[in-house]
Structure formats: structure tokens, C-alpha cells
Amino acid sequence: MNTDQQALASGGTHPGQFDWLAIWRAMYDAERAQGEAAAPAGSDCWAGRAPRYAAAMRRAPQPDALMQAVLAQLRPTDTVLDIGAGTGRYTTVLAQHVAHVVALEPSAAMHEQLAQAVAESGLTNITLVAEGFPPRTPVRGDVAFSAHVLYGVREFAPFVQAMHASATRTCMLALMIRHLAGLVSPFWELFYGEPRAPLPAALEAFNALYQLGYPATWQLLPATTMRYATLDEAVEDMRVRLRFLPDPERDARLREALRERLGVGDDALLAFPDQLAVNALIQWDVT
């Protein structure tokens, strides 16, 4: 920890005098409790969604705005840790520009899609680790990168401290400015009678980092929106987000609600016209 970090940490600085680590946990707990009250999530929430998610990610051209900002800071000799690599949305893009990528993904369903994407790419400089973060065997890299993972992590501090310890140059977090709960909320309220509780996202993360003594910077970048090839795909995705099992009568109501809210974009895909499509690339140096 450098001098600036020690000063921030020893002074107990909380941006705005709020305990952002407690706020993070409270938001996580509220969202989780609301979801589990509707229906238990199960052991692997991606088990039925991973193939659809992988297909949706393949529709997004790469490198996107986020990846362009990341690649601009990488070196050909770098080892990059892709923490929570998912279906490999960014793994293979990173591997084309650096010496080595270590991709960590704990979900068996997502890891299967990740392994398939790596195999199809033909790239040989990727190591796959079927574990969460931090893994049992420590990993090290020049850059620790994690995109859209922290929403599902209750304890913010141990995660980012482990990132800091695993990197030799830079840590990067990609998070939405506002979580997708805002899009799900009208449908949640339609069926459950209350808005969907939001998960913490970029604003909370930025302040929590300062509370921990990591003076981070960020860039705001255009994000890929939630888009669907068909209305059936939208129904399947939203059904999972609402914790529903298939039910013809309820699916018909959901289909009609989606039909009313979705629009057709320039790419002929269905999308919510009121999405706040902004990512934050938050980063801090470790030296």
C-alpha cells in the first residue's frame, strides 16, 4: 500500500461520510432476499442461461468500447487475469493482444461455454481455471481485469484486495453505472407487486475503493444493450430474471408486457429503448 493509500486508510476516509462497504452488503442482501423469497436460485444460476448468454454475446462486435479502452493500456508481454471470464466474451480478445491470459470462471455451465470459445479461437496462450476468485492456488499477472462480476459478490473488500495482491501493475473493474434491475423492475412489479431491488454497481464500487484506500480513476464508456433476436428469447431471459418456471398463462402475460416495452433497433434486434447503456472502467495502480 503506497503513502496515499495509507493516508486514506488510516484516516478512515469514507467518501461522503458513508460506509460504502456496508452499503454494498446491504444492497446485495436486499436483492438476494427479494429474489430468494420469490424462488430459490439454485446452485448454479447460469445453468439454463449460459448457452443463450453466449449466443447474445457473440452478436456484439468486438472489441467493443470497453475492450478498446482496456487494450489501449496493455503490453504485448503482459499476463492478464480475466476474473469471472463467463463465456469468454473478452478472454479471446485479450489473448490476441498479450502474451498470456488466465481466465477464471467458477460456474460449470459458463465454463463449458468458455472452453468451447477458447477451442474455437485456436488460441494457445489461455489458461482456464474452473474456480472463483481468489482461487485455491494463487495466480499472478501484470493486469487483473474483471468485467461485470462484482454484482454477485457480497464482500467487496476481500475481492478487490485479492485483485490488488494478484496484479503487478494495474487492476481494472468494468461495471454498469446502473444495474439491469432497472429494466427488470417493471416486470417484477407487474407480477410481485413491488419494484426489483437493485444490486450495487459502478458508483458504489468507486466510492468503496476510496474507502479501502485505493484512489481509483474511471472512464465512462458506451455499453452493449440487452438485445434479443426474438420475442421468445426475451421471454425466456426475463422468465429466469423473474425466477419463474415455464407456465403458459403467465408466459402469455409476460410476452404481452415485453411486446409493449421492447422496440426494434437499427440492427433489427429487440431492445428496451430506455436502457442506460453506460459502463464504467474503474482502475487503480498497484505500485
Q: What is the pLDDT of residues 28-70, one digit of tens each?
A: 999 999 999 987 555 455 455 655 655 655 666 779 999 999 9
Range of the domain at 46: 3-179+194-225+278-285
Q: Determine the Cα angle at 59 with ends 54 and 61, to 5°.
A: 115
- Does position 263 have pLDDT exceeding 80, yes or no? yes
The burial class, CB within 10 Å (0-12 / 13-18 / 19+), for 147 is buried
Exposed e or buried b for every residue in 181-211, given b needs 16+ CB within 10 A?
bbbbeebbeeeeeeebbbbbbbebbbbbbbb
CB within 8 A of 217, min separation 6: which ones? 282, 283, 284
The domain that contains 166 carries what CATH number? 3.40.50.150
What is the pLDDT, as a whole number, of residue 255? 97
Helix residue ranges, H only, the chain: 3-10, 20-38, 50-59, 65-71, 91-95, 108-121, 156-166, 181-192, 202-211, 231-241, 248-261
The per-residue pLDDT for 2 is 43
Domain for residue 233, yes or no? no
Supply the pLDDT for residue 15.
60
Amino acid in position 99: A
> Would the pLDDT of 1 be above 80?
no
Mean of pLDDT values over 263-279: 84
Checking if the pLDDT of 248 tops 70, the result is yes
Q: Is residue 116 part of a domain?
A: yes
Amino acid at 253: R
Q: Is 39 exposed, middle or buried (0-12, 13-18, 19+ CB in 10 A)?
A: exposed
Cβ-proximal residues to 34 (8 Å cutoff; 6+ apart), any chain: 194, 196, 197
Higher pLDDT: 15 or 265? It is: 265
**Which residues fall within 8 angstroms of residue 151, CB to CB, at 6 or more apart?**
175, 179, 199, 200, 201
User: Could you tell me which residue, 132 or 9, shows the higher pLDDT?
Assistant: 132
Has residue 6 got a pLDDT over 50? no
| Residue 271: inside a domain | no
Say if 11 falls within a structural domain: yes
pTM, full prediction: 0.87
pLDDT band at 11 (very low <50, low <70, confident <90, very high): very low
Asked if the model's pLDDT at residue 265 lies above 60, the reply is yes
Backbone torsions φ then ψ of 145, nearest 5 degrees: -125, 135
Q: Tell whether 254 is covered by a domain.
A: no
Q: Report whether pLDDT(8) > 50.
A: no
Question: 3-class SS at 279?
Answer: strand
pLDDT at 199 over 50: yes
The reported pLDDT for the residue numbered 47 is 56
Q: Between 226 and 177, name the one with better pLDDT.
A: 177
User: 3-state secondary structure string, 187-238?
Assistant: HHHHHHCCCCCCCCCHHHHHHHHHHCCCCCEEEEEECCCCEECCHHHHHHHH
pLDDT value at position 204? 96
Q: Residue 88 domain-assigned?
A: yes
Residue 165 covered by a domain: yes
* Residue 256 belongs to some domain of the structure: no
Report which residue type is found at 198: P
Amino acid letter at 114?
A: L
Mention every residue, 6+ apart, whose C-beta is less than 8 A from residue 51.
113
For residue 55, the model assigns a pLDDT of: 60
Report residue 272 CA to chain centroid gap.
Answer: 19
CA 12 to each of CA 7, 16, 24, 215: distance values in angstroms, whole numbers, following the listed order: 9, 12, 17, 14
Q: What is the mean pLDDT of the chain?
A: 88
pLDDT band at 3 (very low <50, low <70, confident <90, very high): very low
Q: Is pLDDT above 50 for 165?
A: yes
166-179: average pLDDT: 95
Domain count across the chain: 1
All residues at 6 or more sequence positions from 261 whose CB lies less than 8 Å from its CB, including other chains: 186, 272
Closest to 213 in 3D by CA, of 286, 278, 265, 132: 286
- Asked if the model's pLDDT at residue 180 lies above 90, the reply is no
